[in-house]
A and B are shown apart, each in its own frame.
Chain A
């Protein structure tokens, strides 16, 4: 298993290089460093000197991919690409284009993101599994039928509606919680309630439907018939046999997104004014801060790959049939 993890980690390196190349090309194929300088300097002080000073300050005065004036390995290393990408592999994110320490920002802003994402995930999982189990238990009845209809309707509603509706109902009409904002420490809870509720509800439709399908698939299998032939009751059948087997795809599906949780949700965070990594990313996009976007892309890719590895590992934990080699 150790060998497997090491191999997967090594395999991640070419992928991350590829990710860096893609983001780099995307940013520079149409957008020259001059354009970026102009954008950051605003409209007032755009002199050629100011532009080249900004470029030099941010390390954008070098050639993009290949430095013809250097020899040997330096022809590749003394470039914008290498300078900006290579150190990402050491998780050194450097300064943003507006001069802030990205690493520090990330370390600070990941906590609000986690404070929303983790409860949303856990509460959502509990509710979805419970509801899906109920539908599966009452399969082929009216309860099941209407449950599915409601689930499909719920997943057909835009998540924006849940957010706006939640803010309006709980925040504006009932004045139960603040509409948006954030506070430090334990006082943050009242700002977290609404985003978590909205997050959970907007996930119910697709979650319940998907889990119900998984349960029904398991119920049709031969071993369930064996368990019935033992004389087991429907409840014991559901919990000891069906749930246990259906949890394998459910849990491994959750594990994939675990590492990505702290990247936050772009939508929820910016709607509710939560200073997490999601809103950080959105702000960076709107400010066209390449350094931050690049760091977040890199981080996102690392987390995705980590998620894939964790998924495989978690299979070995929950499914006795799977062994990694």
Chain B
């Protein structure tokens, strides 16, 4: 087994490291902590943070790549996540099958034990395979699995929370029931812990149920080549997260630097930077992305030798897509930052610094930069959901991520062609839309809370 570090993995870990550094830094600065305290005090903020973290955990697990058989070119690149869900990945059927179905979605000629051949829906290899007569037993089996999964999850929760509640009860001298009530329902103090714990509980229970079901069925059916859709949807999380975060990460330095330079120094520097971003933003974004992706495709086709595995190839395309999306989207942030810097540079504290003879770069780093960072943060979280949605649209125009890569866009794109089938194949679409919707909704709600916390105009979250 050899570990593999893809480019996007590397950047993701850089990003995580940056966030960790920021947290460490913010802990010691009251003015940085204050807005986050507001986020922590908001029920919506806490609940969505839990959901987002669940996505992030899956995404990170899916970014720890390795080759099980030691780095040969033919060796598949797997992730820790693949290894954890093992069966799910390997449970391949022949072609489409509906969610929870025990039969394939297409008729085949099946040889009966008596030698006759009938056209019928054959049983699946994995879905509902444990059942002898799925028609009668399936309902009960599903109920049993739901019960088992939920039960196991509840046991886990009890193991986690009962000791905690017991300690609280002992500490505060209240009954165990009151302590649990305090944990999940009534809020004490400034942090919205009940929202956190409740969401956590719901999440754990649904995960338990899904795991129990997925062991025996294809929860979201299978796709054209028989791959489990639930597995695909989970694998797509990493792609969605990466597009949403890396895009901002790659564009951030340019937008930040150019924005505050233009705003602070004005004059010809400002003219030049304004020219640059007006030009870039006047090119229709989709066309720019299309042109860039087309070029990349041609390049890859001609230099096929340089990409030793499908995974590396798809990874490079993903990275390239992030870069080009970044190029089309940095201009908005740059313009915002320029405007804010223009305002800041006239503020008294910047003038006072100039009156002390503080040099330009020092003013930029000590006075301007810290005071525009809230704009950067707000725009990062606000952009995230838009980028996740954009991925799906780009995939539809064939200029998204590599077709071999798992992504919600690719799932939708390949499934929509099957909408014309009778009866309709809807589960790939549904799975992709549901997973995307939950992520984007959580991100949008979280972004609202973050904006409220950081926007000085609203004047909240600074108490």
Q: Could you list which residues of chain A lie within 8 angstroms of chain B, going by C-beta atoms?
A: 14-15, 18-19, 22-23, 26-27, 29-31, 35, 152-153, 155-161, 164, 167-168, 260, 263, 266-267, 270, 281-282, 285-286, 288, 293, 296-297, 300-301, 304-305
User: Considering the complex, which residues of chain B in the window 376-404 have a beta carbon less than 8 Å from any beta carbon of chain A?
Assistant: 385, 389, 392-393, 396-399
Complex CA distance for A168 and B429, rounded to whole angstroms? 12
Complex CA distance for A168 and B422, rounded to whole angstroms? 13
CB of B304 to closest CB in A, whole Å: 14
Quick check: A30 and B283 within 8 Å, CB to CB?
no
State the main secondary structure of chain A at its contact with B.
helix
Q: Nearest residue in A to B302 (C-beta to C-beta)?
A: A35
Task: Tell which of B281, B288, B291, B389 has the most Cβ of chain A within 10 Å.
Answer: B291
Quick check: B389 and A158 within 8 Å, CB to CB?
yes
Stretch of B55-63, B187-195, B248-256, B432-440 contacting A (4+ beta carbons < 8 Å): B432-440
A300-B275 contact in complex given A155-B444, A160-B412, C-beta closer than 8 Å = no
CB of B362 to closest CB in A, whole Å: 33
Quick check: B290 and A35 within 8 Å, CB to CB?
no
Count of residues in B whose CB is under 8 Å from the partner chain: 42
Quick check: A288 and B294 within 8 Å, CB to CB?
yes
CB of B307 to closest CB in A, whole Å: 15
Complex CA distance for A234 and B294, rounded to whole angstroms? 56
Quick check: A164 and B295 within 8 Å, CB to CB?
no
Across the A-B interface, give the 7 residue pairs with the lowest CB-CB distance, nearest first.
Answer: A300-B284, A18-B279, A156-B441, A301-B282, A156-B440, A304-B282, A30-B295
Q: Nearest residue in A to B324 (C-beta to C-beta)?
A: A26
Complex CA distance for A281 and B398, rounded to whole angstroms? 13
Which of A15, A30, A159, A161 touches B275 (beta carbons < 8 Å)? Answer: A15
CB of A226 to closest CB in B, whole Å: 21
Q: Nearest residue in B to A15 (C-beta to C-beta)?
A: B279
Chain B contacts for A167, CB-based, 8 A: 419
CB of A300 to closest CB in B, whole Å: 4
Task: Tell which of B282, B392, B448 has the most Cβ of chain A within 10 Å.
Answer: B282
25 contacts between A and B (CB under 8 A): A15-B278, A15-B279, A15-B282, A19-B283, A22-B279, A22-B288, A27-B295, A152-B445, A153-B441, A156-B385, A158-B392, A158-B436, A158-B437, A159-B393, A160-B416, A168-B419, A260-B284, A270-B397, A281-B286, A282-B397, A285-B290, A286-B398, A297-B291, A301-B284, A305-B282
Quick check: B287 and A281 within 8 Å, CB to CB?
yes
Quick check: A29 and B295 within 8 Å, CB to CB?
yes
User: Considering the complex, which residues of chain B in the window 226-285 have a beta carbon less than 8 Å from any beta carbon of chain A?
Assistant: 275, 278-284
Chain B contacts for A300, CB-based, 8 A: 282-284, 287
Which of B282, B290, B433 touches A19 (beta carbons < 8 Å)? Answer: B282
Complex CA distance for A304 and B288, rounded to whole angstroms? 14
Chain B contacts for A282, CB-based, 8 A: 397
Interface membership of B356, Cβ < 8 A? no
Chain B contacts for A29, CB-based, 8 A: 295
Complex CA distance for A137 and B94, rounded to whole angstroms? 57
Quick check: B440 and A23 within 8 Å, CB to CB?
no
User: Considering the complex, which residues of chain B in the window 342-398 have a beta carbon less than 8 Å from any beta carbon of chain A?
Assistant: 385, 389, 392-393, 396-398
Quick check: A304 and B295 within 8 Å, CB to CB?
no
Chain B contacts for A164, CB-based, 8 A: 412, 416, 419, 429
Quick check: B298 and A31 within 8 Å, CB to CB?
yes
CB of A145 to closest CB in B, whole Å: 11
CB of B361 to closest CB in A, whole Å: 28
Quick check: A297 and B283 within 8 Å, CB to CB?
yes
Question: A29-B295, A285-B287 are known contacts; what are 17 more A-B pairs with Cβ within 8 Å?
Answer: A15-B282, A26-B291, A26-B295, A30-B298, A31-B298, A155-B444, A156-B437, A158-B389, A161-B437, A167-B419, A285-B398, A296-B284, A297-B287, A297-B291, A300-B282, A301-B282, A301-B284
Interface membership of B180, Cβ < 8 A? no
A160-B302 contact in complex given A26-B291, A293-B291, C-beta closer than 8 Å = no
Q: Indicate with 1 or 0, residue by residue over B287-307, a CB within 8 angstroms of chain A CB atoms.
A: 110111011101100100000
Quick check: B275 and A285 within 8 Å, CB to CB?
no
Chain B contacts for A159, CB-based, 8 A: 389, 393
Chain A contacts for B288, CB-based, 8 A: 22-23, 26, 297
User: Considering the complex, which residues of chain B in the window 401-455 have a beta carbon less than 8 Å from any beta carbon of chain A?
Assistant: 412, 416, 419, 424, 429, 433, 436-437, 440-441, 443-445, 448
